[in-house]
Amino acid sequence: MDRILPKKKGLQKKYIGYIAIGLAMIILIYLAFFTDRTSTYKVEKDKLIIETVIRDQFNDYITVTGNVEPISTIFLDAQEGGRVEEILIEEGSMVKKGDIILKLSNPDLHLAILDSEAQLAEKDNFLRNTQIAMEQDRIQIKRELLNLRYDIERKERNFKQNEILIKENLISTEEYLRSKEDLEMSVRSRDLFLERERQDSLFRSVQVEILANNLQNMRRNLGLVRQRVENLNVRATVDGQLGLLVPEIGQSISRGANMGQINVLTSYKVTAQIDEHYIDRVRTQLTATLDRQGSKFTLVVRRVYPEVRNGTFKIDMVFEESMPENIRTGQTYYISLQLGQPKESLLVPIGGFFQETGGQWIFVLDPSESYAVKRDISIGRKNPRYYEVIEGLQPGEKVIISGYETFGKNQKLVFK
C-alpha cells in the first residue's frame, strides 16, 4: 500500500545556485557603479612639496649670467713688419693715446728711405737743369726776334726808298724786286719765330708742370716711407688699459699681425648667453636689473647677436645710468632680463613636476588634504620663480610641485 511522503522543509538545492548567481550579479553591479576604480598610489605626504595656487602679478623675466667686459676693445695690429727691439709698456698698464708701447726695427725700410732720397735729389737736379735750359732757349728766341725786327725795319725802309726811285727810273727793276723780296723774307722769318716762341712757351709750361708733379709725387712717396718707419713705433690709438700684449723681445712680427688690445674703460658692458628658446623675444632696448651692494642698477640691451651656438645666443647690455663701484672686467653678475610687462595671473611655483608633465597636468589636493588627484592644466609663460597658469586651477587650491618620477601612471595619490 502506498505511503504519502512528507514535504522537506528549507531551501532546495536547485534554488541555492540561482541565489548565488543573483548575489554575484549584485556585487558586480555595485563594483561597476558605486566604487572608485581610479589607479591609486600611496605616498608619504611629508616627502612632497605642496604649494598653494595664488593670483598675483606675473613678472615676465629670466635670470641670466652676465660677464663684465670693456665698453669697447681696440686691437693693436702691426702696420709694418719688423723685429721687436724694445717693449716700453707692460700688459695691464694704463696708456694714453700716442704712447709708444713697443718699438720694431726694419732695415729694409731705412734702405728704402735712402733710395727714395737719392731719386728725389736726382729728379730735383734734372728739373732745375731743364728749367735753366728752357730759360736759355727763351732768351735766345727773344734775341732772334729782336734781330729780325731790326732787320725788317731796315729792309722796309730800303724798300720804300726803292719804290720812289723806281718811279723815277733811278734804279733797275731787279734791284727794286730784290729789296721787296728781302723784306717779305724777313717778315716771314719773324712770323715763324713768333710761332716758335708760342709753341715753346706751351711746351715749357707742360713739361715743367709734369716734372714738378713727378717731383711732388716723389716727395710724397718719401713722406710715406718715413711714415712707415714711424709706424715701427707701435703707439696706443686710444686712452685705456693695455689688456693684452703678445710679442716678446726679438720676435719677428709680420705686417698686419695682431699684437694685443687696448680696453676702453670709460664704461663697461655686460654680455650674456641666452637660451635659444627666447631668441624671438629678446630684442634691443629691453631692460634688465642687477642687484649689487644693496642697490639696483638698470641695464639696456644694446645688441643681439643673430648667431646661435651650442643652443645659446649672445647679447650685449650697457648701464643706463650709474654702475656698481669697483666694477672690473671679468666679473660675473646674475641679471634679471625683463621680457614683457607685468600682468596679474594665476601662479604656481617652479617645481620638478614640469619635467614629467610638460605643464599639461598636475596633482591637486582634495579639500580634506588626505589625497590628490591628477588634473589637466595649461601653462603659459614662466620666470625663475613661477609658472603662469592659463586654465585648470583656481586660487587657493593646493598642488604638488615636487618631482613625479615615482608616481608612474597613477591617477590618484593617497597620503600615508
How far apart are the C-alpha atoms of 371 and 42, rounded to whole Å? 9
Residue 118: inside a domain, yes or no? yes
Q: Tell me, yes or no, whether 55 and 66 share the same domain.
A: no
Q: Tell me, yes or no, whether 248 and 263 share the same domain.
A: yes
Q: Tell me, yes or no, whether 276 and 173 share the same domain.
A: no
The count of structural domains within the chain is: 3
pLDDT tens digits, residue range 116-143?
Answer: 778 877 877 887 787 788 788 888 888 8
With pLDDT > 90 as the criterion, what percentage of the chain qualifies?
Answer: 43
Averaged confidence pLDDT in the chain: 86
Residue 4: inside a domain, yes or no? no
Q: Tell me, yes or no, whether 53 and 95 share the same domain.
A: no
pLDDT for res 326: 85
Q: Tell me, yes or no, whether 350 and 335 share the same domain.
A: no
pLDDT for res 16: 66
CATH number, domain containing residue 48: 2.40.420.20
Q: Tell me, yes or no, whether 68 and 123 share the same domain.
A: no
pLDDT tens digits, residue range 69-126?
Answer: 999 889 999 888 899 999 999 988 999 999 999 999 888 888 877 887 788 778 778 8
In this model, does residue 45 exceed pLDDT 70? yes
Q: Tell me, yes or no, whether 267 and 371 share the same domain.
A: no
34 vs 409, higher pLDDT: 409
In this model, does residue 274 exceed pLDDT 60? yes
406 φ, ψ to 5°?
-95, 0
DSSP of 328-356:
-TT-EEEEEEE-S--EEEEEEE--THHHH
Q: Tell me, yes or no, whether 279 and 165 share the same domain.
A: no
Residue 25: inside a domain, yes or no? no
Q: Tell me, yes or no, whether 87 and 49 share the same domain.
A: no
Q: Tell me, yes or no, whether 117 and 220 share the same domain.
A: yes
Cα–Cα nearest to 288, from 268, 321, 314, 317: 317
CATH number, domain containing residue 267: 2.40.30.170
pLDDT for res 133: 80
Q: Which of 209, 230, 251 is the last residue of a domain?
A: 230
Helix residue spans in 244-342 (DSSP H) = none
In this model, does residue 31 exceed pLDDT 90? no
Cell (9 digits) for 304: 643681439
pLDDT for res 1: 45
Residue 207: inside a domain, yes or no? yes
Residue 1: inside a domain, yes or no? no
Which residue range(s) make up the domain with 376?
Answer: 36-60+343-415
Residue 134: inside a domain, yes or no? yes
Q: Which of 340, 365, 381 is the last residue of a domain?
A: 340
Confidence at 11, pLDDT banded by 50, 70, 90:
low
186 vs 35, higher pLDDT: 186
360 φ, ψ to 5°?
-95, -20
Q: Which of 340, 360, 376 is the last residue of a domain?
A: 340
Q: Tell me, yes or no, whether 316 and 250 share the same domain.
A: yes
Mean pLDDT over 318-323 rounds to: 90
| CA atoms within 13 Å, Cβ hemisphere of 315 | 29
Mean pLDDT over 307-332 rounds to: 91
Mean pLDDT over 321-334 rounds to: 89
In this model, does residue 5 exceed pLDDT 70? no
Q: Tell me, yes or no, whether 55 and 65 share the same domain.
A: no
Mean pLDDT over 43-60 rounds to: 93
| CA atoms within 13 Å, Cβ hemisphere of 382 | 15
39 vs 6, higher pLDDT: 39
